[in-house]
Amino acid sequence: MRMIRKRTRTRAGGAGPRTRRRLRAGLGATTTALLTVTALAALPQTTAHAADTLGAAAAEKGRYFGAAVAANHLGEAQYTATLNREFNSVTPENEMKWDAVEPNRGSFSFSRADQIVNHARSRGMDVRGHTLVWHSQLPGWVSGLGASDLRSAMNNHITEVMTHYKGQIHSWDVVNEAFQDGGSGARRSSPFQDKLGNGFIEEAFRTARAADPAAKLCYNDYNTDGINAKSTAVYTMVRDFKSRGVPIDCVGFQGHFNSNSPVPSDFQANLQRFADLGVDVQITELDIEGSGQAQATNYGNVVRACLAVSRCTGITVWGIPDKYSWRSSGTPLLFDDNYNKKPAYDAVLSALGGTPGDGDPGGPGEPGDPDAACTATYTTAEQWGGGYNGRVTITAGSSPITAWSVDVTLASSQRVISVWNGSPTTNGNVMTVRSTWNGSLAAGASTSFGFTVNGGSTPPPQVGACTAS
Ligand code: G2I
């Protein structure tokens, strides 16, 4: 049981404490035919409690907790509500890749990536840049270039993109997935490798340092999570870079796990051997296929491995709800398709030292959650000489809710003859409608109730503020 709640969180990366403001439902009424009554006063919160979101819990451990974000989902209320509530770092999933930002030589298009960066930074979240030099999602014109043209195109791409985001990106994946799978330890064939040779990686990092000296420069790869031939090849490169003063600050371990590629038992040891070279390590694209407790245990183990390595500075999961994962059939993420927290979520939050909501009154989405809020919007669905059908749409705020209630005030000449999708009680000409089967709403989700009024179609009812719990 949680005795004390703390509403102050500190963002990883050194920003000052950010006081979380909470909305409390207030009463209000108006008589327009279409009206919206939202939660009112914003009150600063001062009492202390254990962190109850991923970002806040990670920040208390000096880490960030991020998500890969797709610009085309930012208009979805539940998606952004979950992003804004839980995460304090974002990685554009595809929008900063070469084909997205420089589809034609020298012609840059940043609008979709900017959308994500602006969303994140206006809410105090950090941004990971992904990715500058990668063999995949590479426009055709790049592969067609000869060596010297390719060299200048690569350096120009790095410089232009990093300059556009200068000062706004905490870590850049400068080079992504340059090593082959399997036991060879060799570099992967790519236009860069094939035409520029091994030196392209060093050149990319040197160009990147010059473009934005404040950004952490990372090498990022998959199947390098445990100690194996591929990770050892990366390790040897990083050791060489450090010994020769080639700028590199961090190594990203993607962390795409499933039954064919389980979380390795030497994951922590592998992170530690890289950290011992003098670079930060980050888990950059975490997703673990599975469900239930088995998935939750794996997630908890990954988080604990990161926390056990002091230079493991943060974790990013590769998406928010399962339905938007690049491998959605494996349900590899922390939220289900309706944005409900999965057991894996609770395991991650617990491993971070936070307090999961289940069985925890007052936590997000739990009974007594002080952040629970909703809005009520009235419309007249039908009207006739003697009356009308009214509809009130209830929408949850940025936290899930478990119940709602709304007051509807009628003219004294009018009376309600039926109510559906809500449970009414009446006091004089005020009808209080409470949720029945439809009280549980995910953050940003909506439901509605309706009623029939006799006694004239005007005036429309006054609909008071929505109260949620
Ligand atoms: O493949 C998983 C990840 C492996 N590491 C690097 C990451 O950048 C990579 O992310 C995935 C994205 O999650 C996918 O969303 O990279 C894929 C491309 O290699 C992305 O898929 C692409 C589809 O292949 C395209 O057809 C689609 O147009 O996403 C594009 C945008 O939706």
Report residue 179's pLDDT band, with 50, 70 and 90 as the boundaries. very high
Closest protein CA for atom 18 of ligand 1? 137
Q: Which of 72, 73, 94 to mutate to test the pocket of ligand 1 (most atoms within 8 A of CB)?
A: 94
How many angstroms separate the alpha carbon of residue 78 from the centre of ligand 1?
A: 22
399 has a pLDDT exceeding 60: yes
How many angstroms separate the alpha carbon of residue 321 from the centre of ligand 1?
A: 16
Percent over 90 (pLDDT), the chain? 79
299 has a pLDDT exceeding 70: yes
Note the pLDDT tens digit of each residue in 319-334.
Answer: 999 999 999 999 999 9
Of 266, 265, 209, the closest CA to residue 241 belongs to 209
Mark whether 285 is an active-site residue.
Answer: yes
Structure confidence at residue 1 (pLDDT): 34
How many angstroms separate the alpha carbon of residue 218 from the centre of ligand 1?
A: 19
Closest protein CA for atom 7 of ligand 1? 93
Q: Cα–chain-centroid distance for residue 349?
A: 14
Can you read off the two tokens belonging to residue 6?
A: 């703390």
Q: Residue 152 contacts by C-beta under 8 Å, 6 or more apart in sequence?
A: none
Structure confidence at residue 431 (pLDDT): 96
Mark whether 60 is an active-site residue.
Answer: no
90 has a pLDDT exceeding 90: yes
Q: Residue 313 contacts by C-beta under 8 Å, 6 or more apart in sequence?
A: 12, 62, 63, 64, 250, 280, 281, 282
Question: Whole-angstrom Cα distance, residue 38 to residue 24?
Answer: 10
Structure confidence at residue 3 (pLDDT): 36
* Binding site membership of 136 for ligand 1 (Cβ less than 6 Å): yes
CA atoms within 13 A on the CB side of 268: 13
Q: What is the mean pLDDT of residues 434-438?
A: 90
Q: Of residues 177, 203, 289, 366, which has the active-site annotation?
A: 177
Structure confidence at residue 366 (pLDDT): 52
Ligand 1 atom with least separation from CA of 254: 5
Q: Residue 275 contacts by C-beta under 8 Å, 6 or more apart in sequence?
A: 281, 309, 310, 311, 312
Q: 302 near 61, Cβ under 8 Å?
A: no
Q: Of residues 86, 285, 289, 366, which has the active-site annotation?
A: 285
Q: 409 near 464, Cβ under 8 Å?
A: yes
Of 254, 231, 250, the closest CA to residue 242 belongs to 250
Residue that has been written with the tokens 């009974």 in this structure: 367
Q: 465 near 102, Cβ under 8 Å?
A: no
* Binding site membership of 436 for ligand 1 (Cβ less than 6 Å): no
Structure confidence at residue 206 (pLDDT): 98
Structure confidence at residue 20 (pLDDT): 37
Note the pLDDT tens digit of each residue in 207-228.
Answer: 999 999 999 999 999 999 999 9
Note the pLDDT tens digit of each residue in 351-380.
Answer: 999 988 754 445 555 555 667 889 999 999
* Binding site membership of 285 for ligand 1 (Cβ less than 6 Å): yes
Closest protein CA for atom 29 of ligand 1? 94
Burial of 350 (0-12, 13-18, 19+ CB in 10 A): middle
DSSP code string of 190-227: -HHHHHH-THHHHHHHHHHHHH-TTSEEEEEESS-SSS
Does residue 429 or residue 22 have the better pLDDT? 429
CA pseudo-torsion sign 454, 457, 462, 468:
positive
Structure confidence at residue 434 (pLDDT): 94
How many angstroms separate the alpha carbon of residue 128 from the centre of ligand 1?
A: 16
Report residue 4's pLDDT band, with 50, 70 and 90 as the boundaries. very low
Q: 333 near 287, Cβ under 8 Å?
A: yes
Pairing type for strands 415-420 and 42-44 reads: unpaired
35 has a pLDDT exceeding 60: no
How many angstroms separate the alpha carbon of residue 136 from the centre of ligand 1?
A: 9
Structure confidence at residue 369 (pLDDT): 66
Which DSSP state fits 70? Answer: -
For residue 137, give Cα distances in angstroms to 66, 106, 239, 462: 23, 17, 29, 54
Question: Whole-angstrom Cα distance, residue 175 to residue 374?
Answer: 45
Question: Whole-angstrom Cα distance, residue 388 to residue 454?
Answer: 7
Element (H, E) at 140: helix 140-143
Residue that has been written with the tokens 């929408």 in this structure: 395
For residue 79, give Cα distances in angstroms to 76, 88, 320: 5, 14, 8
Contacts made by residues 368-372, CB under 8 angstroms, sequence distance 24+:
368/469, 369/399, 369/400, 369/401, 369/469, 370/22, 370/24, 370/45, 371/22, 371/23, 371/397, 371/398, 371/399, 372/396, 372/397, 372/399, 372/400, 372/401, 372/402, 372/468, 372/469
* Binding site membership of 326 for ligand 1 (Cβ less than 6 Å): yes
Prediction pTM value: 0.74
Note the pLDDT tens digit of each residue in 108-166.
Answer: 999 999 999 999 999 999 999 999 999 999 999 999 999 999 999 999 999 999 999 99
Structure confidence at residue 371 (pLDDT): 74
Q: What is the mean pLDDT of the chain?
A: 88
Closest protein CA for atom 10 of ligand 1? 93
46 has a pLDDT exceeding 50: no
Closest protein CA for atom 27 of ligand 1? 94
Burial of 329 (0-12, 13-18, 19+ CB in 10 A): exposed
* Binding site membership of 254 for ligand 1 (Cβ less than 6 Å): yes
Q: Which of 98, 326, 327 to mutate to test the pocket of ligand 1 (most atoms within 8 A of CB)?
A: 326
Q: What is the mean pLDDT of residues 422-447?
A: 90
Closest protein CA for atom 13 of ligand 1? 326
Ligand 1 atom with least separation from CA of 131: 8
